[in-house]
Amino acid sequence: HGIHAEPTTFGLKMAQAYAEFTRARERLVEARREISTCAISGAVGTFANIDPRVEEYVAHKMGLTPEPISTQVIPRDRHAAFFATLAVVASSVERLAIEIRHLQRTEVLEAEEYFSAGQKGSSAMPHKRNPVLTENLTGLARLVRAMAIPAMENVALWHERDISHSSVERMIGPDATVTLDFALARLTGVIENLVVYPENMRKNLEKLGGLIHSQRVLLALTQKGVSREDAYAMVQRNAMPVWRGEGDFRTLLGQDKDVSAKLSPAELDELFDLSYHFKHVDAIFARVFGKA
């Protein structure tokens, strides 16, 4: 939503991307396996003028699998799945690129693309450090996704084959693969040279005067016997002034008679302990990287 929620870590963001691209690699391997078939079965796939053993021999020599049943061509659902996989991987590229673009926003600035001395971010405004590489990646992802649609439309050929797919594949085959390869290489460079600002992350966590701990307060009140609806109202009425820049969340909660009747000052202080949110981070990392 673009609205502060609860704390997370930059490491978790990167771990999520690592896990996503691990899946992407697995999908690419499977897509390549599925499309690696061979068909030498004649004009309509009946082997009328050639022995099936020829197809098997050629397939073996080329490291392919004989297509179980073909027409004049290999069924294009295989190709559609391949291009769909490229589109999914491109979307993963875009997701990480957009994450970096948001982190580079002026009011956030928790990370940014490397900006070399003398580099221009804007031809008109010399002060700007625009995320040009990740913006470029967003555009490239759109192109790769767009090429998945004609690949799917190629599935429905007439009878044993028409030639409508040929002109499409001559374009999308090289364009989709080269574009995605370039995008992945560019994204790798962005991540390798990414500039990270931990101090700004801390400042942003503190920007809303403790509101990021609101759910902990809500749950603590319910554990003290307050109904969830009443607890929500108690927390929200103290949160909204802070949202408007009128005070500190912890202070307002301590001054609320209904809240202080249920939670002691020490209990309230404990609810604002930032480390609480990160107690299981290592377990998540173990899940992600333990199998690497």
Of residues 1, 127, 159, 280, which has the active-site annotation? 1
Please, which residues have CB within 8 angstroms of residue 30's CB and are 6 or more apart in sequence?
85
Check if the beta carbon of residue 207 is closer than 8 Å to that of residue 172.
no
**Residue type for position 164:** S
Q: What is the DSSP letter of 43?
A: S
d(CA 255, CA 277): 25
Q: Positive or negative CA dihedral for 136, 141, 142, 147?
A: positive
Is residue 165 part of the annotated active site? The answer reads no
End-to-end alpha-carbon separation of the chain, Å? Answer: 32
Would you state the pLDDT for residue 180?
A: 98
Task: Examine the pLDDT at 279 and tell me if it is beyond 70.
Answer: yes
Whole-number mean pLDDT of the chain? 95
Per the residue annotation, which of 4, 92, 122, 213 is the catalytic one?
122
Output helix, strand, coil percentages for the chain, rounded to the nearest 5.
65, 5, 35
Cα–Cα distance between 36 and 34 in angstroms, integer?
Answer: 6
Residue 10 confidence class, pLDDT cut points 50, 70, 90: very high
- Among 271, 173, 97, which residue's Cα sits nearest to residue 263? 271
Q: Is 123 a catalytic residue?
A: no
Q: Per-residue pLDDT tens for 84-94?
A: 999 999 999 99
Per residue in 19-48, pLDDT (tens digit) is: 999 999 999 999 999 999 999 999 999 999
Provide the pLDDT confidence category of residue 291 given band limits of 50, 70 and 90. Answer: low
Q: What is the pTM assigned to this prediction?
A: 0.91
Q: Which domains are assigned to the chain?
A: 10-202 (1.20.200.10), 209-278 (1.10.40.30)
